[in-house]
Amino acid sequence: MGTLEGKVALVTGGARGIGKAIVIALAEDGATVSFTYRTSSAAAQELVRQLTSSGRRVFAYESDASSSTSAAGVIDRVINECGKLDILVNNAGIARDGLLVRMSESDWDSVIANNLKSVYNFTKAASRAMIRQKCGKIINITSVVGITGNSGQANYAASKAGIIGFTKSIAKELGSRNIQINAVAPGYVDTDMTSTLTAAQRQTLMDVIPLKRTAQPHEIAAVVKFLASPDADYMTGQVICVDGGLTM
């Protein structure tokens, strides 16, 4: 029996990349898992088919994470269909990279809305249900870029740094309600977002990562699964870097 047997989880942005790996990890550990997607409908349905065929309970919802109305609607559907919500993983996010002097206002606004406001939207809606049931786990996916900054990613870094501050603040607010809120900060991970790197760019990365490789999505998911489990009941307000030693 998995450590998450009987738990109900929601993962935002769960159709691809790190989000998909998190959905798989939580489902395989026994949780009933719902996840949101925005544009990856075919990938979402294939993931549902893949996991339900192996006996897992998995549901997919189309949602705009930057919309508070959409987020609240998803939370309501999960609770109505599954009876409760024990675990929220805020993973949805986008990148619109560019140097500040060339960054459009829309590129700034869309990254802040999809990466940071989405965390506010889903956490606010989920926390109400978790307060009523006097327990819950919220895990926010940030990035090492939110700690170190990165040239050409002012909008992305600002959104991810905001998630860290948000995580610590809400952990203080909800700690007395037996709700634990932590963040995971991946370094460079093999996903669609990093697949466009040139060989030279990839080599530059290898030179500064002590473990000399990028992460696989399942390695991020394993840390999320730990934070969602009873083994992490005494952890809150923490930011765990999973980055091959990049930020040490």
Active site residues: 156
Q: Are 119 and 90 in contact (CB under 8 A)?
A: yes
Nearest to 34 by CA among 55, 14, 53, 5: 14
The secondary structure of 97-114, three-state, reads CCCHHHCCHHHHHHHHHH
Q: Give the three-state DSSP class for 232.
A: helix
DSSP state letters, 112-174: IIIIIIHHHHHHHHHHHHHHHHT-EEEEEE--THHHH--TT-HHHHHHHHHHHHHHHHHHHHH
**Structure tokens belonging to residue 65:** 């994470």
Query: What is the per-residue burial (b if ≥16 Cβ within 10 Å, else e) of 105-131?
Result: eebbeebbbbbbbbbbbbbebbbebbe
CA atoms within 13 A on the CB side of 50: 14
